[in-house]
Amino acid sequence: MKKIKVEKKLLSTNQQIADENRRLFKQKGIAVFNLLSSPGSGKTSLIEQTVSHLQGRLQAAVITGDLQTDRDAQRIARHQVFVKQITTGGACHLDASMVKKALPFFHIDELDLLLIENVGNLVCPAAYDLGEDAKLTIMSVPEGDDKPLKYPVMFRISKVLIINKVDLLPYTNFDMERAITFARQINPAIRVFETSCTTGAGLEDWFRWLEERVSRLSGVTEK
């Protein structure tokens, strides 16, 4: 009983801060995406590809969350983009206050896009709103095509599903049609992209969609 009360309080405090973050992002015209996946699906790889493509087109910044180490931040920083690592210690997800505390690190008035790499986990991050415009789930081919059925919440709350590592399709029993059907059973409106961060396959479609959405959300075309 006590545990439920404490959890409810934590989540409502988180929601208040997430709402503040969202108001600030809206006021500043920043599009914000919260990237969710199990460890190793390709969140950091997708961010690297995306910021590299956006170089000179949009002002992007990245927050990357991990249990330990700043290895992902080092990878992303190679692409000349502002990146702030949040090391959660033991926590299996980011929360809105961690994001709020990271914001002074950026020149927020100049930003068009903020990508947030959440901690690799298909369960906990789903419960914590960070103030983002949209959540994006990545699943990858070697993980199997039944992930939407096994972790439905993540797929239900995401606007976008990236199915990554399509270069590995010939070596697995992953059935793309089944994966998409399962995902749409959970969330009929989910937008699906099939990508490989290794070969670059499918990334153009993702970039185009993202840029259109950012310019709609941030009014970047008028900046």
Ligand X SMILES: Nc1nc2c(ncn2[C@@H]2O[C@H](COP(=O)(O)OP(=O)(O)O)[C@@H](O)[C@H]2O)c(=O)[nH]1
Binding site for Mg ion (CB under 5 A): 43-44, 72
Distance in Å, CB of 75 to Mg ion, minimum: 8
Window of 16-24, 159-167, 172-180, 213-221 that interacts with ligand X by CB under 6 A: 159-167
Window of 5-13, 144-152, 195-203, 207-215 that interacts with ligand X by CB under 6 A: 195-203
Q: Is residue 37 part of the contact set for ligand X (CB under 6 A)?
A: yes
Window of 125-133, 149-157, 161-169, 179-187 that interacts with ligand X by CB under 6 A: 161-169
Determine phi and psi for 41, rounding to 5 degrees: -75, -25
Cβ(143)–Cβ(41) below 8 Å: yes
Give the number of residues in contact with ligand X, rule: CB under 6 A: 16
125: partner contacted, choices Mg ion, ligand X, none (Cβ within 5-8 A by kind): none
The dihedral over CA atoms of 94, 97, 103, 108, expressed in degrees to the nearest 10, equals 100
* Among positions 17, 32, 42, 76, the unique one binding ligand X when judged by CB under 6 A: 42
| Burial environment of residue 67 by CB neighbours within 10 A (0 to 12, 13 to 18, 19 or more) | middle
Q: Is residue 213 part of the contact set for ligand X (CB under 6 A)?
A: no
Q: Is residue 202 part of the contact set for ligand X (CB under 6 A)?
A: no
What b-and-e string marks burial along 154-164, b requiring 16 or more CB atoms within 10 Å of the CB? Answer: bbebbbbbbbb
Locate 56 and state its tokens.
Answer: 């000179």
Cβ(152)–Cβ(186) below 8 Å: yes
Q: Is residue 41 part of the contact set for ligand X (CB under 6 A)?
A: yes
- Look at residues 151, 148, 212 and name the one whose alpha carbon lies nearest to residue 179: 148
Q: Is residue 52 part of the contact set for ligand X (CB under 6 A)?
A: no
Task: Catalog residues that contact ligand X under the rule CB under 6 A.
Answer: 37, 39-45, 120, 164-165, 167-168, 196-198
